[in-house]
Chain A
Amino acid sequence: MTAGYTEQPTLLQSLLSVRGILWSLLIIFASWLGWHEYGELLDEHERSYEIGILIGTAIGVIAFGLAWKSMQTLMTAVLIMTWIGIASYAANGNSYQAQESAFFLKFLFSSQSAIMWMNVLFIFAMVTYFFALWRNSEFSGKVATGLTWTATAFGLAGLGVRWRESYLINPDYGHIPVSNLYEVFILFAIITALLYLYYEQKIRSRALGGFVLAVISAAVGFILWYTFGRDAAEIQPLVPALKSYWMKIHVPANFVGYGTFALAAMIAIPYLWRDRIEKRGDLNNPWLTRLPTLEVMEDVMYKAIAFGFAFFTIATILGAMWAAEAWGGYWSWDPKETWALIVWLNYAAWLHFRMSKGWGGAPMAWWSIIGLLITTFAFLGVNMFLSGLHSYGSL
């Protein structure tokens, strides 16, 4: 056995493999096709920005897939599902009403159906993860992981098809589905799930799944209430202030931040649980063998927050740049803006505290739970209780 230093393949090495080349070609082809078919629907004033965003996104997705192989499978599935959805509409005269009759649309891939599948599968996944943890069942754990991947695929395909649907209802209405609370909650569920799946592979443990899926299921609960209680799933045209390419980059960047903060907070729960068992000195407790070690959980928590902090910084800056273009000032102390700053300051303080040591792990875990409460207020509470310039989705 020759035990040499095995290097992780670099992105370039992954790219130059057969699989890497096929993957890249697939994404390039899909991007080209999207542009070819629908490019002229985009706002003519912003054509050059849109091309930039498309190319940037394609490169980003390719790199993401090269760095994380599972992404390739997921995106391929999503592309196929989205394609079936869009093609089914096309086969039915591009009528939005086709979703009530065409089989694939009615039961699977119209945005409403796909998102309903996502909702249901996420809830199943949570239950299954907890069952797997309780029964210490390897098999159930695998099923739970599969359910989460499938739910994510349905969610992404649902958003993709919804994008197309907005144009089918009325070309004037067309826009990327990240424009109101209903749509961004879906985005939140998807991004949080993806982040979780990434760390699940990294730490080789499925024990945290139920906890993370719990926050996703809460989001699903909101989506369901919002859909049935408030008819929020209906596609509405954009107000002039939201008609901008900035929305495409500002909103998703923000939700990467929200997703990681949620993930960190949910990992804090099993962390505190394990911490208590260890502090009691109950070393034969069976949960200790099932839950990852404190070091591992703390590490994931830190990495998630650091990653989220970086993205949240970018998102806030992008938001300021957009505000400068839409409202006439990069900073107006608008409530949403101010709460983004509060969230950011909170995590900056968290990161500094972690470095200045002194405090042990449990307070930091509590703090990341409090961080999620603050984040939730910025995300939802501001829309509910405070009014301001941010015009999307009030409750």
Chain B
Amino acid sequence: MDKKRSLKHHPVLTFIGSMNLAIVLLVMLAIASVIGTILKQNEAYASYVIKFGPFWFDVFRTLELYDVYSAIWFLTVLAFLLLSISACVWRHWAHFVKDMLSYQEHTHATQLQKMGLSVQGERVENSVQVRDEAQQLFKKLGFKFKVEAKETDTLIAAKKGAGHRLGYFFTHIAIVIICLGALLDSNIKFKVQEWMGSVEAETRSIALTDVNPKANIAVDNNSFRGSVNIPEGKSADVVFLTFKEGYLVQKLPFTVQVVDFRVEHYDTGMPKSFESDIILSAPDLEEPIKTTIFVNKPLYYKDYAIYQSSFGDGGSQVELRAWPMVSNNTSPSILAGEINRVINMNTPIGDYKLELNDYKTNNVIDLPEPDENGRKVKNLGPSVQFKVRDAQGQALEYENYLLAVERGGAWYQVSKYRRNVAEAFQFFLLPLDDKQSLNRFMRFLALINDRHALDSILNPGIEQEKDPVKREQLETQKRFMQQLINLFRARGFDGIRGYLEQAVSEAEKRDQVFNQYLEIMTVALQGLYLKTLELEGNQGETTEAQRRFFADSVEAIDALKDYGPPMFFEVTSVDHREASGLQITKSPGKDVVYFGSLLLVIGTFLLFYVRPQRLWLLIQPQTNGGTAFIFAGKDGKDDKMLQPLFDQITQQLQQAPAAMQGDKT
């Protein structure tokens, strides 16, 4: 017993449990926290070097300022605060508890007289009457009391507000509890593993099976906070934790499947809500949990919580037709792929990679002028973005729309392209035939590409020609036509102009010659076009629509020189798959922290709003049958707070009952 006492008063313990140290520690924590908010935490080291220069970068790193809240010195301050509070509670608890329970009924008359609030008085009633009256009064005012007989005297010792002391214990123990809860949720174990070298971040984005084994974290990790993107219809049993310059893969003891993901928007276009229908299955669950989560409504399962946090494309399934554009082949090959995946294509003209980048459900564009309904915007519908990369690694970027657009009664397939990311996309339109298909255009293009197509159209005429000179002329004309068509196919109208610039020296003559050439070429193209129609089964007079189709096709072929790839990718269908971005956390300390918080709140109110107050009434019977008394009071903090009550009780005590009241007012 004695030993304990002396330990309690050991100077080291006294210092650690002192209020002054507590204040210093509180202020230190506050300052450290300030640093942590001013200096952006956990950024890439490179950006700190740029910001502070190499010298200060090193200084700050040594001080662990880039991750203040898990710095050793910060944790040390925190530990000292905990130690200080514990020491403080330890030092105080015995006498606080004693004080709480005690009525201090052994206080002497002299002590009472010396108190800040103390009066003496006399009453004509006998001591029993005064005692009963006082007891009643104290009871009414909510004081608890103990009556102590001292020889002839009687002491009524009363107290109220013991809860104040309880408040002290609650608040201070609460802080210890909260910190312990936070410790349960901290990544201390991780830090230790990192020091021992058994944990290493994975920096590459690769398939799960290839991840560095040291980046795989077992299920039994006691606390973490990670995220994972799960496409609709798919499931996951891991989350990714950001760690240093890369990530770790945390295994989960359950599987989360995202059945459906939905986004709603306000009329301003701002997102209004994200939500996912999920199914959580675990071996120890008899029945999987089916529920819907959204922002502010997570699913709690054991120590885990599953939150809706973001969204993205989850690998929409895309089907395409790749139309060959540089051969006489007219049938497209059918391709199937997935957003964020690559399709490898081996074609007669080389290997290509088709990289499917994104799927957009809506493309709202501004119109130069309002349409017939007065709307200034138009939704072009869904589109797929992709890149076509050749064997040399050169890529062109495209965005192809799924829906045809109408322009002045004719229908077109829309594609956009650009050569590099810095440029804006260019529109490219392909005319569609009566069946809204690309067949006619592609057949026409195939004939243009076909070196023997002109033969088949013109040869009958040439063969029927008997005159060898004329026949030779026709042959020459045919070859010339073929050359023009080849030039046009390869480089468009500009190609023909460029050729003329070299072939014809006088500038005035060039236009004239150009027009002649154009006429000749048009005749040839028309021939090929009629052949196209014929192959389609159309004979006889051409219609207005068919003539327009021809003009549009020529325009499109002219534009092909910039469009790029040897294929046209027609997106035939997309099965939209969204991915829901989930955050999954495990925090076993949460309930501990909440319990501590509750204690803290209760304790704070007890400390501030329960006043520890004591009253003593020493009753001394007088020989004349009357009674003398000493009335004293004490407030735990500040006697001024007790003063009004004390004065009023004094008045009541000094007053004789109405019947015996004399003149003293």
A residues in contact (CB < 8 Å) with B: 1-6, 45, 170, 172-173, 237, 239-241, 243-244, 246, 295, 306-307, 309-310, 313-314, 317, 320-321, 324-331, 333, 335, 338-339, 341-342, 345-346, 348-349, 352-353, 355-356, 382, 386
Contacts and interface: CB of A to CB of B under 8 A. Distances in A.
B33 A338 contact: yes
Interface in B608-650: 608, 640, 645, 648-649
B608 A338 contact: no
Given A338-B33, A352-B19, 20 more contacts: A2-B658, A3-B655, A5-B648, A5-B652, A295-B640, A313-B601, A314-B601, A324-B590, A326-B295, A327-B583, A328-B298, A328-B307, A329-B585, A329-B587, A330-B587, A331-B182, A333-B41, A345-B29, A349-B26, A352-B23
A300 B506 CA distance: 100
A35 to B, nearest CB: 22
A309 B604 contact: yes
A119 to B, nearest CB: 28
B608 A307 contact: yes
B593 to A, nearest CB: 6
A172 B272 contact: yes
A61 B445 CA distance: 80
Given A237-B268, A335-B37, A338-B33, A329 B225 contact: yes
B183 to A, nearest CB: 12
A335 B307 CA distance: 22
Interface in B1-32: 19-20, 22-23, 26-27, 29-30
B541 interface: no
A106 B594 CA distance: 48
Contacts of A352: 19, 22-23, 26
Contacts of A328: 225, 298, 305, 307, 309, 583-585
Say whether chain A's binding surface is mostly helix, strand, loop, or mixed.
Answer: helix
Interface residues of B, number: 57
Contact of A313 (B33, B69, B585, B600): B600
B266 A172 contact: yes
Contacts of A341: 30, 33
B648 A345 contact: no
A345 B583 CA distance: 31
B150 to A, nearest CB: 27
B38 interface: yes
B23 A321 contact: no
A75 B74 CA distance: 48
Contact of B648 (A6, A237, A241, A313): A6
A1 B640 contact: no
A13 to B, nearest CB: 14
Nearest to B641: A299
Contacts of A348: 26
A382 B37 contact: yes
Say whether chain B's binding surface is mostly helix, strand, loop, or mixed.
Answer: helix
B30 A346 contact: yes
Interface string B581-601: 001110100100110010011
A342 B583 contact: no
B33 A3 contact: no
A310 B605 contact: yes
Contacts of B640: 295
B274 interface: yes
Of B36, B37, B298, most buried by chain A (CB within 10 Å of CB) is B37
B603 to A, nearest CB: 9
B34 A342 contact: yes
B119 to A, nearest CB: 15
A345 B22 CA distance: 11
Given A310-B604, A356-B19, A237 B33 contact: no
Given A4-B652, A317-B600, A326 B37 contact: no
B296 A349 contact: no
A330 B424 CA distance: 45
A321 to B, nearest CB: 7
Nearest to A321: B594
B297 interface: yes
Contacts of A324: 305, 590
B665 interface: yes
Contacts of A295: 640
A339 B37 contact: yes
A18 to B, nearest CB: 25
Contacts of A4: 651-652
23 contacts: A5-B141, A170-B266, A172-B272, A237-B268, A237-B272, A239-B270, A240-B271, A240-B272, A240-B273, A240-B295, A317-B600, A326-B296, A326-B307, A327-B583, A328-B298, A328-B583, A328-B585, A330-B593, A333-B69, A345-B29, A346-B30, A349-B30, A386-B38
A295 B141 CA distance: 27
Interface in B556-599: 583-585, 587, 590, 593-594, 597
**A-B CB proximity, top 6 nearest:** A240-B295, A5-B648, A244-B296, A335-B37, A349-B26, A356-B19
Contacts of A3: 651, 655
B423 interface: no
Contacts of B652: 4-5
B298 A5 contact: no
A328 B584 CA distance: 7
Of B22, B267, B296, B608, most buried by chain A (CB within 10 Å of CB) is B296
A239 B273 CA distance: 8
B292 to A, nearest CB: 9
A310 B601 CA distance: 7
A363 to B, nearest CB: 13
Given A317-B601, A330-B593, A348-B26, A1 B665 contact: yes
B306 to A, nearest CB: 9
Interface in B267-309: 267-268, 270-274, 294-298, 305, 307, 309
A333 B42 CA distance: 12
Contacts of B649: 5
Contacts of A240: 271-274, 294-296
Contacts of B267: 170, 172
Contact of B297 (A45, A306, A353): A45
Contacts of A330: 587, 590, 593
A333 B32 CA distance: 12
A320 to B, nearest CB: 7
A346 B274 CA distance: 39
A328 B298 CA distance: 8
Of B30, B182, B271, B655, most buried by chain A (CB within 10 Å of CB) is B30
A245 to B, nearest CB: 9
A329 B182 CA distance: 11
Interface string B236-279: 00000000000000000000000000000011101111100000
A264 to B, nearest CB: 14
Contacts of B69: 333
Nearest to A322: B296
A237 B587 contact: no
Nearest to B658: A2
A349 B23 contact: yes
Contacts of A346: 26-27, 30
Contacts of A321: 594
Nearest to B637: A355
Nearest to B174: A313
Contact of A241 (B22, B23, B296): B296
Contacts of B294: 240
